[in-house]
Amino acid sequence: MTLTTATQNKLGQRIGYDFPFSMASNIRMLILDVDGVMTDGSIVMDGRGDEWKAFNVRDGHGIKMLQRAGIKIAIMTGRSSEVVAVRARDLGIEFVIQGCLNKAEGLASLEQESGIAAEHCAMMGDDVLDLPPMYLCALSLAPADAHHAVCSHVDWVSDEGGGHGAIRQAAEGLILATGAWDDVIESRYHTTSSDCGWHHQPD
């Protein structure tokens, strides 16, 4: 369920291009759920039970830009799929935990494996399974079409839905917050943050 802008504002959350820059300035790793975040939540299976997922290319580019900004990417998902493993390899994502039904424990594993504490992590999730680790991270993020309970508890809700640009918008906000925009985006693409819709800027 997508919250209306009025409801989100009443909850005191940041929305879309009004990003919580101060909370994001020390983020070193972004943790992503898959279904409903990297995808729109649809699961397509063929007659043999093989699973298909559709990923957004602009989200993928956002992930690559985050990596160039020095921010690690991790995937933590409750399901297991070879498609996810392939996509992670395609994007150069080093940390991948699949079949994780206790995501607080998954977060602890990621902290140990990456050497990055939760206080330097952001996480984007879309369903109640994602909330326990999101409470522990420094910054919690959600797509526009995340479950109502998630949208009610996170620090920031994207203007975009899962699999439709939510990650890209979050990536740009994180790059701005960490001061890497000029090196990662403007010098390479001659594109300012305001060109991309970011009229709110870090303090």
Walk along the chain (203 residues) in steps of 10 and give the mean pLDDT of each run: 41 84 97 98 85 95 98 97 96 97 98 98 98 98 97 96 98 98 97 95 84
Q: Residue type at 158?
A: S
Question: Which contiguous run of DSSP H or E holds residue 103?
Answer: helix 103-114
Can you give the residue ranges of every domain in the chain? 26-189
- Reference 72, options 129, 22, 111; nearest CA is 111
Q: Return left, alpha or beta for 115; rule: phi > 0 is left, psi -120 to 50 is alpha, else beta.
A: left
> What's the rounded Cα separation, in Å, for the pair 1 and 97?
27
Give me the phi and psi of 92, to 5 degrees please: 70, 30
What are the residues facing 96 on neighbouring strands?
Answer: 75
> What's the rounded Cα separation, in Å, for the pair 189 and 186?
5
Residues ≥6 apart with Cβ < 8 Å to 79: 34, 35, 98, 99
DSSP alpha helix (H) spans, 121-165: 131-136, 148-151
> What's the rounded Cα separation, in Å, for the pair 55 and 57?
6
> What's the rounded Cα separation, in Å, for the pair 137 and 131?
10
The DSSP annotation for 28-55 comes to -EEEE-STTTTS-S--EE-TT--EE---
Total-model pTM: 0.93
What pLDDT, on the 0 to 100 scale, is given for residue 11? 54
> What's the rounded Cα separation, in Å, for the pair 149 and 126?
9
CATH superfamily for 26-189 is HAD superfamily/HAD-like (3.40.50.1000)
Structural contact between residues 200 and 17, judged by C-beta atoms closer than 8 angstroms:
yes
Q: Residue type at 82?
A: E
Give me the phi and psi of 136, to 5 degrees please: -90, -20
Residues ≥6 apart with Cβ < 8 Å to 194: none
